[in-house]
Structure 1
Amino acid sequence: MGFVDVVGISTSYVQKDFGLSDSVANLLPMMVFLWFAVFSVPTGLLMNKIGRKNTVLLSMVITIVAMLVPLLAYSYGVILFAFALLGIGNTILQVSLNPLVANVVVKEQLTSRLTLGQFLKAISSFLGPVIAGFAAASLGNWKLLFPIFAVIIFLSSLWLWFTPIPHDEKVEQTTSFGAAFSLLKDNSVLLLFLGILFVVGADVGMNMATPKFLMERIGLPLEQAGLGTSLYFAARTAGALTGAILLARFAAMRFFKFSMMAAIAAMIVLLFSYSMVLVLVMVSIIGFALANIFSILFSMALQKRPERGNEISGLMIMGVAGGAVLPPLMGLASDAIGQVGGMLVILLAMGYLLVTSCIVKVQE
């Protein structure tokens, strides 16, 4: 799942290679995350027909193809196509993988286990910019990270293929699109869906904007500024590991609220920071604070309607399309007033999440 986050550092390299503006370059993450809006609900219905494990395996095949495309040709159009495939594969993966986890853990441990999965995902996200920087500096081409990813996905596919999964039954009477979307009539499900849309948008936004902010505000070259993204994901990794422990003991929504308060405070300080150390510290706090929000929202949605787990999963992952909604808005704001404009868009998304943490708690 974490391989999709390589779009952040890839956007910076593609923008540099082809001399693109922020608004044009930000079409790359839009091309990735657009498909979460298109394929999420159909994937939830597909799981009913072929099972969760087979759906995960399908996603891995598509992702391997996506990783091989940039090796055949390199142009802006080809990269858009490759990342579209990556988005489609990752959409199918995220819809099917989280319910698959529910097949192998008890309900009381689901939030903690999904958070632990986010910890592993964050390790992948953290390593993406590092591998890209290593490929660029030592191997002479940043795109060599793609075959590395392809090999890892292939090995993961083999591992899953030979791993038995209990209770992965097909559903004989599948639901319709209308029935799946009708779940949004539940106010709690709707709030959780919008929450995922905004937290993914904020996460992708930080992934993209951190190197550009460091280049504009501090004057770092791209190769060094890209490590700011790795620091962000390193903080998310630490936050996810911490959350996996704390969420087994403390109320999820209270954890959610305090996390968003910390993230908003750090973002406000970041907007007025001109010291590299202070910028990196604030970026780390934001990454740490956002690390567990996705898994909290997702697990609450699954527990809200466990008998409709496949459809709920499809709806929630459709919210990942927030990664396609916020970056274009950030690009327009950045072209207008600089990278601070993009950060302000992220701040607005964080404000919604804080409000959501209060509303959902009241409803429960």
Structure 2
Amino acid sequence: MQVTNQFGDQHETSLPNQKGNQYLLPFILITSLFFLWGMAHNLDSVLIPHLKKACNLNNSQSTLIDTSVFLAYFLMAIPSGIILKKFGYKASIIIGLLVFASGAFLFVPAANSLSYVTFLIALFIIGCGLTILETSANPYAAILGDPAKAAWRLNLAATFNGLAAPVATIVGRFILSGKSYTQEELAAMTEIVRNNYFLTEASTVKTPYIILGCVLVAVALLFYFMKLPEVKTQNTDGIASGEGSFFGALKHKHLKWAVIAQFFYVGAQVCVTSFFIRAAQQAGGFDEYTALYYLGLYGTLFLVGRFVGTFLLRYIASNKLLYIYAVLCIMLCLIAILGKGSYVVYALGGLGFFMSIMFPTIFALGIDGVGEDTKPGSSWLIMSIVGGAILPYGMGSLIDYYKDNIQIGYIIPLICFIVILYYGIVGYKHKVQTAVV
């Protein structure tokens, strides 16, 4: 007998496990996207100290790398939602991959001309591609199966995002040179020697980003030739619902709080990783390559945290695990601010473990129960990623104000985790505002 499934497709009724099997390949393909945008974000942690040297920047200027990427999330959130509503998940994913690839290829002329502005434009384009991808892939992974396991699926997919962190540090060894000079040493060089140093530093980004761009094009072709089901959200009666409205989605109070919590979470994560290498050098006394090694350990802990968190979410309510982890992150931030030597670096590494489940958990809690507002709700949650554009710049400015004191800057992520703690205890609760007629 022909029936309409939750993809809106006509199909014959079948054994119960057949439905789960048809979700498997789409879910595997979606998880590859989590890895790819994880690579982009984790390479930013390497680019910030690297381009700080190559383009001779201060701390706040170097954080414009984050600003360029995450400002794109804010500006592209609504257009990404429109693209998703108009073209569906598959076409949106392909568009996102190709935009992402074009930004990666733009790194070549940026390095050749030693133009920081061109690097920022390339990163903004990458951010636009990432926004389209995340607006599509996050709700797709959440909806693709049993609604009760949405948070578990998102965390499982996000483990591949975490896998990108240690891989990015391996790539980072081909970008970082291990050479750095003080302003006094640079001033003592001749102009030709100094410019050659800057050009040599900048040129190391070209090969990694050319390879990344080629991989993205290949994955886009794979998605083009693969048949993916188009998921439609359903109401409680099991009937496919409409598409919701962008501003109307905010009638869900728990979604509004999720947007706020996501703003501060992304800001916290970007702050922690953006200054990790420099914090390891300044507080831990490590050289650039050793600092990169510890950033790799941070990434490994982030990955392990995703697996452990995914397991724990089968037994612990997602909001409860979220606020427990937020408390532990607050404690680790205090160590990073007040501690000495290698303990500062260990505390920052520990943050990777406990931050690992926050983004997908906040996302899943935010769109839980919003029905037809799932797609616009997803756009709001992606738009909140603009926290990664604003808060790191504030952290960099704070560090510059305190004469390059990296540790004091970690006050910013400390405040962020306090907000997340509130969300995990109170803000996640479902309340719908209704108009009086």
Contact 1:57 1:157 in 2 (8 A): yes
Secondary structure at the residue paired with 1:269? helix
Establish whether residue 106 from structure 1 lines up as the match of residue 123 from structure 2. no
Partner of 2:302: 236
Partner of 2:424: 357
Partner of 2:79: 42
CA distance in 1: counterparts of 2:230 and 2:410, whole angstroms: 44
Structure ranking higher on relative contact order (CA contacts 8 Å, 6+ apart): 1
Question: Aligned residues: percent identity?
Answer: 21
Partner of 2:275: 209
Contact 2:257 2:428 in 1 (8 A): no
Partner of 1:347: 414
Partner of 2:70: 33
Return the index of the structure with the highest Cα Rg. Answer: 2
1:100-121 CA distance string (max 9 Å, x none): 2245322122111110121101
Partner of 1:150: 213
Contact 1:45 1:310 in 2 (8 A): no
1:178-204 CA distance string (max 9 Å, x none): x31232243211111011111111111
Structure 1 residue identity aligned to 2:106:
V
Partner of 1:259: 325
Partner of 2:434: none
Partner of 2:127: 87
Partner of 1:3: 39
Partner of 2:181: none
Partner of 2:392: 327
Partner of 2:204: 141
Structure 2 residue identity aligned to 1:4:
A
What are the ranges of 5 or more consecutive residues in structure 2 without an aligned counterpart?
1-36, 179-199, 234-239, 432-437
Structure 2 residue identity aligned to 1:190:
K
Contact 1:240 1:292 in 2 (8 A): yes
In structure 2, the CA distance between the partners of 1:361 and 1:174, relative to structure 1 (3 Å rule), is closer
When the two structures are superposed, what TM-score results if normalisation uses the length of structure 1? 0.92
Secondary structure at the residue paired with 1:270? helix
Cα deviation for residue 308 of structure 1 reads 1.8
CA distance in 2: counterparts of 1:88 and 1:329, whole angstroms: 22
Structure 2 residue identity aligned to 1:247:
L
CA distance in 2: counterparts of 1:301 and 1:355, whole angstroms: 14
Cα deviation for residue 281 of structure 1 reads 2.2
What are the ranges of 5 or more consecutive residues in structure 1 without an aligned counterpart?
none
Secondary structure at the residue paired with 2:227? coil
Structure 2 residue identity aligned to 1:324:
A
When the two structures are superposed, what TM-score results if normalisation uses the length of structure 2? 0.78
Cα deviation for residue 172 of structure 1 reads 11
Cα deviation for residue 136 of structure 1 reads 4.4
CA distance in 1: counterparts of 2:329 and 2:338, whole angstroms: 15
Partner of 1:160: 223
Partner of 1:293: 358
In structure 2, the CA distance between the partners of 1:25 and 1:296, relative to structure 1 (3 Å rule), is same
Structure 2 residue identity aligned to 1:297:
I
**Backbone CA RMSD of aligned residues:** 2.3
In structure 2, the CA distance between the partners of 1:183 and 1:363, relative to structure 1 (3 Å rule), is closer
Contact 1:104 1:166 in 2 (8 A): no
Structure 1 residue identity aligned to 2:129:
G
